[in-house]
């Protein structure tokens, strides 16, 4: 395998690890949002999208990955990537959670934007098509979070002033 293709596949594997991390984060967040139904609904939608993204990214890996040695490589890299991002975006408060979500979506946007260029250069037309499709979903999610952050913040502050009302969730 050429160096160019090795790098490309490394990045695709990283994207897969990123999507697994995304699912974990989104699920954790969705559990705490009973008083923020709009945010909760959008996050549930994105969990579905994220699971489909994982499947699609995996198809790109599977088309190239045939030997067992590259598969060993896979697990090591996934673990490293997952650990690095896990703590970074964890928060148990809704406003910080929404901000972290926005940051994470932008990490995904940057990753897929780079992957599209790489796919093009190695001639992976199918991969390019998949990453472009995923990129649109990440952009939509980032934009939604950006647009709704002010309202989530207002709701949080109003709830925190109301006696006997839990704001964080
Ligand atoms: Mg994603
Ligand atoms: Fe996403």
pLDDT in tens, 52-106: 999 999 999 999 876 544 554 555 555 555 555 555 555 668 999 999 999 999 9
Q: Is position 55 within any domain?
A: yes
Q: Is position 73 within any domain?
A: yes
Gap between the Cα atoms of 141 and 107, Å rounded: 12
The pLDDT of residue 72: 47
The pLDDT of residue 82: 53
Dist. CA 163 → ligand 1 center (Å): 38
CATH of the domain at 58: 1.20.1260.10
Q: Is position 132 within any domain?
A: yes
Q: Is position 167 within any domain?
A: no
Host domain of residue 83: 3-161
Q: Is position 166 within any domain?
A: no
Gap between the Cα atoms of 106 and 88, Å rounded: 14
Dist. CA 148 → ligand 1 center (Å): 19
Gap between the Cα atoms of 72 and 161, Å rounded: 53
Dist. CA 161 → ligand 2 center (Å): 32
Residue 42 pLDDT greater than 50, yes or no: yes
How many domains, the chain?
1
């Amino acid at each position: 395998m050429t160096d160019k293709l090795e790098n490309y596949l490394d990045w695709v594997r990283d994207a897969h690890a990123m999507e697994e991390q995304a699912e974990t984060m989104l699920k954790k967040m969705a559990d705490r949002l009973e008083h923020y139904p709009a945010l909760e609904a959008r996050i549930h939608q994105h969990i579905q999208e994220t699971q489909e993204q994982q499947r699609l990214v995996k198809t790109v890996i599977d088309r190239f990955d045939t030997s067992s040695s590259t598969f060993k490589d896979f697990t090591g890299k996934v673990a490293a990537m997952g650990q690095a991002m896990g703590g970074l975006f964890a928060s148990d408060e809704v406003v910080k959670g929404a901000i972290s979500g926005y940051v994470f979506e932008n990490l995904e946007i940057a990753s897929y934007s780079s992957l599209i260029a790489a796919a093009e250069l190695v001639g992976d037309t199918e991969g390019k098509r998949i990453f472009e499709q995923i990129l649109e979903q990440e952009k939509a999610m980032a934009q939604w979070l950006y647009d709704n952050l002010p309202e989530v913040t207002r709701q949080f502050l109003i709830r925190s002033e109301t006696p006997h009302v839990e704001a964080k969730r």
